[in-house]
Amino acid sequence: MLELTILAPALINGAMTGAVYALIALGLTLVFGVLHIINFAHGSLLMVAMYGVFFLNRHLGLDPYLAIPIMTAAMFALGFGLQKSVISRASHGRDEMILLVTLGISLIIENLALYLWSADTRNVQLPYGFAVVNLGVALVSRTRLIAFVAAVVLSALLWLLIDRTDLGKAIRAVAREKQGARVVGIDVEHIYAMSFGIGVACLGAAACLLLPIYYVNPQVGNVFVLVAFTIVVLGGMGSFVGAFAGGIIIGIAESLGGLFLGESLGQIGIFLIFIAILLFRPTGLFRARA
Amino acid sequence: MGRNAVVGALALGLALAVPLIVQSGFWLNLLTLMLFFGYLGGSWNILGGYAGQFSFGHAAFFGTGAYVTAILQLSLGLNPWVTMLFAAAGGASVGLVTGFLSFRYGLRGSYFALITLAFSEVLRVLATTAKITNGGQGLVIPLRTGLGNFQFAGKAGYYYVALAMTLISLAAAWCIEHSRFGARLMAVRENEDAAEALGVNAFGHKLAAITISGMMAGAGGTFYVQMFFYVDPAIAYGPAMSVESLLVSIIGGMGTVAGPLLGSIVLHLVGDLTRKVLANAPGISLVLYGVLLILILRYLPNGLIGGARALAGRVGLGTARSGSTG
């Protein structure tokens, strides 16, 4: 069972999937870790983005990878608008309320999708969909390799944005001390909306990378929501490096779990990791205990 | 108190007479489901409303009760009424274990919500793979109608059982609200550290709340199985039950006696009537649930009961009860 020819592809494919998980989790860690907003609509918003990619491809013939700039911008606008117009107003600034508001949003989005686009599962057909690349120890499909590389690049860009720009500095200031940030003249409401927008924009990019290797239906977001939360908690709230590493770890854990326990029982590993981390090491693997 | 008692007696009399007046299966079914989800929301409310611990995995308790009932009937041939006791015990055990783990390690607020969701997902995956639950195909209980068997040919039987369960849950909520235990529970909800400083054992109280909540939800699982003769992993442990239990409580008013029942009545009136009118629109009723939730959070953060109390207070009809709003 433990032969390299079986294990190596499982490891590599796990890492590839993990990179896309990481991209989904990066958006969540920004919102969840930095602003302490639990965004239950994260999965539904990913689903919306995936439908966006699907329809752009179907009606305009746009390649999913070329759709990245469009989808990122569109999802940013959606996230920004949602935070400004719905979440901030309905939650009265209380954490548990935000959780419930985003739950309401996800109910609306998911069921509207069911109504508009039916429960059918769809995917895109690409001319290079079955092309493979030989990495020496394993054959990897080209779409997965692109997703991996793009996820790495996008994560680095996000890190630069948060670490090196004024906007990033303002976001970190709001995260650390909301009142203090307000005192020094930062428009906190605006920063909230920007952060939420950036977090959702990550989903736009993730959707473009994900659709060529996955499928979309109105429930697809549920698959990723707990996975993304697990990664965020595993990597440590608000830690981008942690989220990336966490994504890879979860991707590999899922792939190995599927290999040894079978498809359906393999999922349980993610939830058990999640529970164990929450209970025993809530600050994540990559941070010292506070 | 006098006026409340009169209103209560009138409502009860009306509720008891309903099956004599209403003959339509649709309406009786709708009323039964309203009561059932009022009951289930009531069980959520003890943990979420009074203790302030938002569970997103209430299905873990409900589903365990449902499976216990189905499995005990199928494998041991136990009487369904007897299995209800075991279902309640099953729900209580799941509550005790998950509560012990979560509260022991100090999970609060959003973290508690996430871990309860994860627990119900673990149970869902286990139910999908285990032999005793017949995997994803689910379990069908044997059909044997009769009061002694908790299976009724008509709808009225289920209506009366649901009514009785709802009354018990209302009584339980009332007793909690008017007891020292309840006062301490609400103190923990408002400010856990302050409550602890005053000598309240927050851990013990939260653990008691989640156990009671789990016990009631587990018994609710029995009712569901007896009414629909069937259970599978998605029904038992899927997010629908968890979401609905918290929705009815929040819409009606968390931490109030009648809130979950009122929320359930409103939600099902809106949902089922839309479903009847727009027969070819899957999902639209759930879209309305989401809209209703956001509107309530935005304009009536204390739910319909909280809003009604505020209105009564403004008009001067207030019964001098400020309520337990947070």
pLDDT band for position A34 (cuts 50, 70, 90) = low
Neighbouring residues of A204: CB distance < 8 A, sequence distance ≥ 6: A49, A52, A68, A71, A72, A73, A74, A75, A76
Given a cut of 50, whether residue A290 has pLDDT beyond it is no
* CB-based contact, B289 to chain A, within 8 Å: yes
**Burial of residue A195 (number of CB atoms within 10 Å: 0-12, 13-18, 19+):** buried
State the complex-level ipTM.
0.85
**How far off is chain A from B135, nearest CA to CA, in Å?**
10
A chain contacts of residue B111, beta-carbon cutoff 8 Å: 278, 282
A chain contacts of residue B115, beta-carbon cutoff 8 Å: 274-275, 278-279
Given a cut of 80, whether residue A35 has pLDDT beyond it is no
Residue B295: closest C-alpha in chain A:
A90
Of B105, B122, B290, the CB nearest to A268: B122
Tens digit of each residue's pLDDT (9 = 90 or more) over A201-244: 999 999 999 898 888 999 888 888 888 888 888 887 777 888 88
Given a cut of 90, whether residue A288 has pLDDT beyond it is no
Indicate whether B227 belongs to any domain.
yes
Tens digit of each residue's pLDDT (9 = 90 or more) over A106-120: 999 999 999 899 888
pLDDT at position B92? 97
Burial string for A129-168 (b: 16+ CB within 10 Å, else e) reads eeeeeeeeebebbbbbbbbbebbeebbeebeeebeeeeeb
pLDDT at position B11? 86
Given a cut of 70, whether residue B139 has pLDDT beyond it is yes
Of A107, A274, A279, the CB nearest to B105: A279
CA–CA distance, B206 with B189 (Å, rounded to integer): 9
* CB-based contact, B290 to chain A, within 8 Å: yes
B222 phi/psi in degrees, rounded to 5: -60, -50
Indicate whether B95 belongs to any domain.
yes
Mean pLDDT of chain B: 89
Given a cut of 50, whether residue B325 has pLDDT beyond it is no
pLDDT at position B323? 45
Its pTM stands at 0.88
- In this prediction, residues A139-165 reach a mean pLDDT of 87
**How far off is chain B from A232, nearest CA to CA, in Å?**
12
- Say yes or no for a CB contact (<8 Å) between B290 and A104: yes
Architecture of domain A4-280: Orthogonal Bundle (1.10)
Indicate whether B197 belongs to any domain.
yes
How many distinct structural domains can be found in chain B?
1
- In this prediction, residues A131-137 reach a mean pLDDT of 77
Of B110, B121, B283, the CB nearest to A38: B110
Percent of chain A with pLDDT over 70: 96
A207 phi/psi in degrees, rounded to 5: -60, -40
- In this prediction, residues B106-127 reach a mean pLDDT of 89
* CB-based contact, B286 to chain A, within 8 Å: yes
pLDDT at position B84? 96
Of A95, A114, A233, the CB nearest to B282: A114
Indicate whether B281 belongs to any domain.
no
Q: How many interface pairs between A and B have CB atoms less than 8 angstroms apart?
A: 118
A chain contacts of residue B125, beta-carbon cutoff 8 Å: 264-265, 267-268, 271
Of A38, A101, A268, the CB nearest to B294: A101
CA–CA distance, B77 with B79 (Å, rounded to integer): 7
pLDDT band for position A286 (cuts 50, 70, 90) = low
Tens digit of each residue's pLDDT (9 = 90 or more) over B200-232: 999 999 999 999 999 999 999 999 999 999 999
Indicate whether B303 belongs to any domain.
no
Indicate whether B271 belongs to any domain.
no
Which B-chain residues 32-61 have CB contacts (< 8 A) with chain A?
Answer: 54
A chain contacts of residue B102, beta-carbon cutoff 8 Å: 279
* CB-based contact, B119 to chain A, within 8 Å: yes
Indicate whether B153 belongs to any domain.
yes
Given a cut of 90, whether residue B20 has pLDDT beyond it is no
A265 phi/psi in degrees, rounded to 5: -75, -25
- Say yes or no for a CB contact (<8 Å) between A104 and B107: no
pLDDT at position B253? 92
B chain contacts of residue A269, beta-carbon cutoff 8 Å: none
Given a cut of 60, whether residue B7 has pLDDT beyond it is yes
pLDDT at position B316? 66
CA–CA distance, B292 with B264 (Å, rounded to integer): 12
Given a cut of 90, whether residue B136 has pLDDT beyond it is no
Residue A275: closest C-alpha in chain B:
B115
**Burial of residue A185 (number of CB atoms within 10 Å: 0-12, 13-18, 19+):** exposed
Pick among A48, A92, A100 to test the B interface (most B CBs inside 10 A)? A100
* CB-based contact, B281 to chain A, within 8 Å: yes
For residue B110, what are its two tokens?
């959003």
- Say yes or no for a CB contact (<8 Å) between B125 and A267: yes
pLDDT band for position A16 (cuts 50, 70, 90) = confident
Tens digit of each residue's pLDDT (9 = 90 or more) over B246-305: 999 999 999 999 999 999 999 999 888 887 787 777 778 888 899 999 999 999 988 999
Given a cut of 90, whether residue B16 has pLDDT beyond it is no
- Say yes or no for a CB contact (<8 Å) between B297 and A278: no
Percent of chain B with pLDDT over 70: 96
Neighbouring residues of B289: CB distance < 8 A, sequence distance ≥ 6: A104, A107, B247, B267, B270, B271
| Least confident piece of the model among A89-103, A152-166, A191-205, B190-204 | A89-103
For residue B202, what are its two tokens?
């927050």
pLDDT at position B322? 45
**How far off is chain A from B209, nearest CA to CA, in Å?**
19
User: Is B73 in contact with B83 (CB distance < 8 Å)?
Assistant: yes
pLDDT at position A2? 60
Q: What is the DSSP string of chain A?
A: ---HHHHHHHHHHHHHHHHHHHHHHHHHIIIIIIT----TTHHHHHHHHHHHHHHHHHHH---TTTTHHHHHHHHHHHHHHHIIIIIHHHHTT-HHHHHHHHHHHHHHHHHHHHHHH-S--B----TTTT-EEE-SS-EEEHHHHHHHHHHHHHHHHHHHHHHHSHHHHHHHHHHH-HHHHHHTT--HHHHHHHHHHHHHHHHHHHHHHHGGGS-B-TTHHHHHHHHHHHHHHHH-TT-HHHHHHHHHHHHHHHHHHHHHH-HHHHTHHHHHHHHHHHHH-TT-TTS---
For chain A, the residues whose C-beta falls within 8 A of a C-beta of chain B are: 36, 38, 86, 89-92, 95-97, 99-101, 103-108, 110-115, 118-119, 218, 222, 226, 229, 233, 262, 264-265, 267-268, 271-272, 274-275, 278-280, 282
Of A92, A114, A271, the CB nearest to B121: A271
Where along chain A do its domains lie? 4-280
**Burial of residue A263 (number of CB atoms within 10 Å: 0-12, 13-18, 19+):** exposed
Structural domain that includes position B162:
22-238
Beta-bridge mates of residue A122: A216
Indicate whether B193 belongs to any domain.
yes
Tens digit of each residue's pLDDT (9 = 90 or more) over A234-279: 887 777 888 888 899 888 888 888 788 777 776 777 888 888 888 8
For residue A213, what are its two tokens?
């290797």
Tens digit of each residue's pLDDT (9 = 90 or more) over B34-84: 999 999 999 999 999 999 999 999 999 999 999 999 999 999 989 999 999
Mean pLDDT of chain A: 85
pLDDT band for position B317 (cuts 50, 70, 90) = low
**How far off is chain A from B167, nearest CA to CA, in Å?**
28
* CB-based contact, B240 to chain A, within 8 Å: no
Of A108, A267, A275, the CB nearest to B115: A275
